[in-house]
Amino acid sequence: MERTPRITDSHCHLDFPQFEGEVADLIARASERGVHRMVTICTRLRQEPQVRALAEAHAPVFYAAGTHPMSAHDEPMATVEALVSLAQHPKFVGIGESGLDYHYTAETKAVQQESLRIHIEAARRTGLPLIIHARDADDDMARILGEEFRAGAYACVMHCFSSGAALAEAALELGFYLSMSGIAAFPKSRELRDIFAAAPVDRILVETDAPYLAPPPNRGKRNEPAFVADTARVGAEVFGLAYEDFARRTEENFGRLFSKAAAWRG
């Protein structure tokens, strides 16, 4: 029997209430579709113990932690030292998500930018990839990422990338990665798919951002890690590859960027 290609959901939120009591079942359904690994993201540092517990309880689950930009104004400001300390855990594999979101919270942009620079420094010190959320803030995002990179290199993924071509080009020029979510699979997302198609395939990851943004054929429903395979099938079409080849390439990309997760042997 032909083996289902293995693939990683590089960004989900298994601690969210939509999944309460279901994580083991979610992992089992994901495994049936070849999704053998997932990174669950803590968006408020005070919730890190609960997110860590999920990674400790389930072998396929790794985690990252940071302060989401939309929460930066009502959470204690993260410190570099706290993030570096958290990164000592063997299954802690990324810094964030951090970033800038001016869609709903533009009035807190100064706090968001301060928080972002703290997360960048933590990524720089730990060598772990920075996980970036960017919405309606392309110019400031490109400027800050570039300024900070010139001050000292770090690795980064633009999570759930749905910004413009200029920010994609700026990120790629810095050696960063773009992550494809269910948004890229929506029928009306042709312009976004064109942005991805112009990127090198060796800089592409796939994710769900579950429980949000389920791709077709489950659009409008609760998203879950198993559905990353549906986004990856669209990604394969975008790059003109067989699904098996695209899955393999994204696995290689994930292993390069999230090298701590790739090296973990339990």
**pLDDT value for 1:** 40
State how far the Cα of 133 lies from the Cα of 151, in Å rounded to an integer: 21
List phi, psi (to 5°) of 260.
-65, -40
Burial of 158 (0-12, 13-18, 19+ CB in 10 A): buried
Please give the average per-residue pLDDT across 89-116, as a whole number.
Answer: 97
| Closest to 120 (Cα-Cα) out of 90, 96, 85 | 96
Q: By percentage, how much of the chain surpasses pLDDT 70? A: 99
Annotated binding site: 11, 13, 97, 133, 159, 209
Tell me which residue has tokens 């798919």: 193
Distance from C-alpha of 141 to C-alpha of 105, rounded to nearest angstrom: 15
Note every long-range contact of 40-43, with CB atoms under 8 Å and residues 24 or more positions apart, other chains counting: 40/12, 40/13, 40/14, 40/15, 40/64, 41/11, 41/12, 41/13, 41/65, 41/66, 41/94, 41/96, 41/97, 41/131, 42/15, 42/66, 43/13, 43/67, 43/68, 43/71, 43/97
pLDDT in tens, 152-180: 999 999 999 999 999 999 999 999 999 99
pLDDT beyond 80 at 29: yes
| Confidence class for position 2, pLDDT limits 50, 70, 90 | low
Strand partners, 210: 12
Reply yes or no on whether the pLDDT at 240 is more than 90. yes
The per-residue pLDDT for range 117-142, each reduced to its tens digit, is 999 999 999 999 999 999 999 999 99
Supply the pLDDT for residue 266.
80
Of the CA atoms within 13 Å of residue 210, those in its CB half-sphere come to 30
The H or E element spanning position 208 is: none
Give the bridge partners for 61, in sequence order. 38
* Cβ atoms 13, 225 nearer than 8 A: no
Query: Is residue 221 scored above 80 in pLDDT?
Result: yes
Residues 204, 249: contact at Cβ < 8 Å?
yes
| E-only strand ranges, the chain | 7-12, 35-42, 61-65, 92-101, 130-135, 156-158, 177-180, 204-206
Q: Could you report the per-residue pLDDT of 140-156, keeping only the tens digit for each?
A: 999 999 999 999 999 99
The pLDDT value given to residue 31: 97
- Domains, the chain, in order of start with CATH, read 7-263 (3.20.20.140)
pTM of the model: 0.97
Task: Kindly report the average pLDDT of the chain as a whole number.
Answer: 97
Q: Is 218 exposed, middle or buried (0-12, 13-18, 19+ CB in 10 A)?
A: middle
Residue type, 43: T
CB 85 within 8 A of CB 45: no
pLDDT category, 81, cuts 50, 70, 90? very high
Annotated binding site for a divalent metal cation: 11, 13, 97, 133, 159, 209
